C-alpha cells in the first residue's frame, strides 16, 4: 500500500487524487494533506481519509479547522485526529512527511516551489502538477533531484504521455528518471495541442476576440487561466520548456503539432524513426493515476477509447504568426536560467489583466515579450530559489506597469 501526501488537496489535482485513492482503497492511503482556505472541503477530506498530518497555509485558520473537524465527529483525543500545522513550515513538513512514499504537488504557482523542494530534499517521489517547479525553477530543481534520487513523475497529460511512451526505453531506469540527463534513443518530442478556443479563427478575426471567446475550450474542462493559455498556445510553450528539463532534450527537437481532437496526448520519435504515441480521453485522472501506480498499471472501470467511433484524427503545423506566445516560449527556454521564470510570470499577469479586460487578447504576447526583453540584461543562468521567486515578482510588476502605461504602444517587432 502506497502512502500519499497531497499538497493543495482542495484544488483540481488534489480532489482528483483523493477520488483515485477512494477508487483504490487497498492500494493507497493518505498520510498528509495541505490546503489553502477551503476549510469546508478540507475537513470533509480529513474525516474521509484520516491523514496523519495536515497543514494550512494560513496558520490563523487552524482553530476554525478544529471546530469543523469536531462537527465531523472527530474528537481531539481521537486517534484519527491529525497533527495540525500552519504556514510554510507546516506545508514543508507535510511535503517531507516521513511516512509518505509519494507527494502529489497540486499547489498552483510559486507557492508550490518551496514545498516541492522540501519533498525532493527528503527523497520523496513526486507526482508533479505544479509547473513552476520545472519552468521557473528548473536550474534549481534539477541538481537537487540528482542529489536526492527523488523521482519526478509528470501528472499532466502531455508529459505523462511522453513518459508512458518512454517506458519502453531500457534507459528509463530509476536513476536517470527526470534528472535532465538526455534520454538515449529519444530523437524528438511531438507535443500535441488542441489549438484552443481560436483554432478555427483567422488571425484577422483575433482582433475581435473577447474574454468569453477565449475561455471556451473545445475539448478540456479547465480553469479560465489555463483555457486562455490554450487559446494563445502559451500552455504548449510552457510544456516545451517543461519537456526540455524533464527529458533532457534540446529545444530544436521538441515540436508542437495541432491535433484538434486531443486524443493523442503526445508522441516521441525514437532514433530509428519509430514513433510512439499515447492516446486516451481528455481526462486528468489517467495521468494522475499513472503517477500513483507507476511502474505498473491498475485496472480501472473508466471509459474506454473507441477509435472507430472517433473515426478521424487530424494534425497540422501551428501557425507561428497566429500564436506568437509559442515562439516567445522557445526563445525564453533557449536563453535558460531565469528567463523561463519571467516568461511564466509575465504570462500569468498578462492573462489576469486580459481576464480583467484591462488588455486585449492580442496584447498578451506583447507584454510578455517586453518583460523578457527587459530581463535580458539581468539574466541569471544559475539562480537560487530566492532569485527565481524575486524574478517572478519583478516580471508580474513589469507587466502591471506596462498595462498602466498602455501596452498598445509596445510593438512585437521592436
**CB closer to a copy of itself out of 147 and 297:** 297
- Among the listed ranges 104-112, 193-201, 266-274, 397-405, the one in contact with a copy of itself (CB under 8 A) is 266-274
Which residues ranging from 78 to 137 are in contact with a copy of itself (CB under 8 A)?
none
- Among the listed ranges 30-38, 159-167, 218-226, 235-243, the one in contact with a copy of itself (CB under 8 A) is 159-167
Which residues ranging from 283 to 302 are in contact with a copy of itself (CB under 8 A)?
286, 289-290, 293, 295-300, 302
Does residue 169 bind a copy of itself (CB under 8 A)? yes
CA distance from start to end of the chain: 57
> Residue 177's closest CA among 202, 151, 154, 158?
151
Under a CB-based contact definition with an 8 Å cutoff, are residues 281 and 305 in contact?
A: yes
For residue 35 the three cell numbers come to 490546503
Does residue 320 bind a copy of itself (CB under 8 A)? no
Q: How far is the CB of 299 from a copy of itself (least distance, A)?
A: 4
> DSSP assignment of 343-402, as one string?
HHHHHHHHHHHHHTTSS-TTHHHHHHHHHHHHHGGG--SS--HHHHHHHHHHHHHHHHHH
- Among the listed ranges 229-237, 254-262, 337-345, 398-406, the one in contact with a copy of itself (CB under 8 A) is 254-262
Q: How far is the CB of 163 from a copy of itself (least distance, A)?
A: 9
Q: How far is the CB of 156 from a copy of itself (least distance, A)?
A: 14
Under a CB-based contact definition with an 8 Å cutoff, are residues 31 and 97 in contact?
A: yes
269, 319, 331, 373: which one contacts a copy of itself (CB under 8 A)? 269
Torsion of CA 293, 298, 303, 308, to 10 degrees: 100
99, 167, 174, 376: which one contacts a copy of itself (CB under 8 A)? 167
Does residue 276 bind a copy of itself (CB under 8 A)? yes
Using a 10 angstrom Cβ sphere, with 0-12 exposed, 13-18 middle and 19 or more buried, the burial of residue 98 is exposed
Q: Locate cell 485526529: which residue?
A: 81
**CB closer to a copy of itself out of 167 and 210:** 167
Q: Half-sphere exposure (CA, 13 Å, Cβ side) for 339?
A: 20
Q: How far is the CB of 82 from a copy of itself (least distance, A)?
A: 30
Does residue 321 bind a copy of itself (CB under 8 A)? no
41, 111, 279, 379: which one contacts a copy of itself (CB under 8 A)? 279
Does residue 308 bind a copy of itself (CB under 8 A)? yes
**CB closer to a copy of itself out of 261 and 397:** 261
Using a 10 angstrom Cβ sphere, with 0-12 exposed, 13-18 middle and 19 or more buried, the burial of residue 201 is middle
Which residues ranging from 176 to 235 are in contact with a copy of itself (CB under 8 A)?
184-185, 187, 190
Q: How far is the CB of 6 from a copy of itself (least distance, A)?
A: 20
CA pair distance 141, 118, nearest whole angstrom = 11
> DSSP assignment of 140-195, as one string?
HHHHHHHHH---EEE-SHHHHHHHHHHTTSTT--TTTTTSS---TTEEEEEEEE--
Task: Point out which residues bind a copy of itself (CB under 8 A).
Answer: 164-170, 184-185, 187, 190, 257-259, 264, 267, 269-281, 286, 289-290, 293, 295-300, 302-305, 307-308, 310-317
Amino acid at each position: 500500500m502506497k502512502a500519499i501526501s497531497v499538497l493543495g488537496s482542495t484544488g483540481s489535482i488534489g480532489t482528483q487524487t483523493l477520488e483515485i485513492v477512494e477508487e483504490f482503497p487497498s492500494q493507497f492511503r493518505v498520510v498528509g494533506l495541505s490546503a489553502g482556505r477551503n476549510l469546508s472541503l478540507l475537513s470533509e477530506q480529513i474525516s474521509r481519509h484520516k491523514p496523519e498530518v495536515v497543514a494550512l497555509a494560513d496558520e490563523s485558520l487552524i482553530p476554525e479547522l478544529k471546530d469543523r473537524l469536531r462537527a465531523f465527529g472527530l474528537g481531539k483525543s481521537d486517534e484519527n485526529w491529525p497533527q495540525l500545522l500552519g504556514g510554510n513550515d507546516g506545508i514543508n513538513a507535510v511535503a517531507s512527511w516521513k511516512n509518505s512514499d509519494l507527494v502529489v504537488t497540486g499547489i498552483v504557482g510559486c507557492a508550490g516551489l518551496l514545498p516541492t523542494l522540501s519533498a525532493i530534499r527528503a527523497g520523496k517521489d513526486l507526482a508533479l502538477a505544479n509547473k513552476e517547479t520545472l519552468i521557473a525553477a528548473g536550474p534549481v530543481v534539477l541538481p537537487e533531484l540528482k542529489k536526492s534520487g527523488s523521482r519526478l513523475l509528470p501528472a499532466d497529460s502531455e508529459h505523462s504521455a511522453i513518459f508512458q511512451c518512454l517506458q519502453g526505453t531500457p534507459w528509463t531506469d530509476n536513476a536517470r528518471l527526470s534528472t535532465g540527463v538526455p534520454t538515449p534513443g529519444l530523437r524528438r518530442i511531438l507535443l500535441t495541442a488542441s489549438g484552443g478556443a481560436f483554432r478555427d479563427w483567422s488571425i484577422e478575426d483575433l482582433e475581435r476576440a473577447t474574454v468569453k471567446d477565449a475561455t471556451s475550450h473545445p475539448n478540456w474542462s479547465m480553469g479560465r487561466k489555463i483555457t486562455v493559455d490554450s487559446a494563445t498556445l502559451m500552455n504548449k510553450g510552457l510544456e516545451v520548456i517543461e519537456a526540455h528539463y524533464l527529458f533532457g532534450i534540446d529545444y530544436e527537437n521538441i515540436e508542437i503539432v495541432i491535433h484538434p481532437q486531443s486524443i493523442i496526448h503526445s508522441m516521441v520519435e525514437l532514433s530509428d524513426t519509430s514513433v510512439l504515441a499515447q492516446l486516451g480521453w481528455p481526462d486528468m485522472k489517467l495521468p494522475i493515476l499513472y503517477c500513483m501506480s507507476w511502474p505498473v498499471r491498475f485496472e480501472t472501470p473508466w471509459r474506454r477509447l473507441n477509435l472507430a467511433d472517433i473515426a478521424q484524427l487530424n494534425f497540422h503545423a501551428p501557425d507561428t504568426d497566429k500564436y506568437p506566445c509559442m515562439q516567445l516560449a522557445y526563445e525564453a527556454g533557449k536563453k535558460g536560467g531565469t528567463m523561463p521564470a519571467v516568461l511564466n510570470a509575465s504570462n500569468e499577469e498578462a492573462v489576469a489583466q486580459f481576464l480583467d479586460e484591462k488588455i486585449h487578447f492580442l496584447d498578451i504576447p506583447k507584454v510578455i515579450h517586453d518583460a523578457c526583453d527587459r530581463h535580458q540584461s539581468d539574466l541569471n543562468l544559475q539562480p537560487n530559489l530566492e532569485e527565481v521567486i524575486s524574478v517572478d515578482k519583478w516580471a508580474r510588476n513589469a507587466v502591471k506597469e506596462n498595462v498602466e502605461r498602455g501596452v498598445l504602444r509596445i510593438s512585437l517587432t521592436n
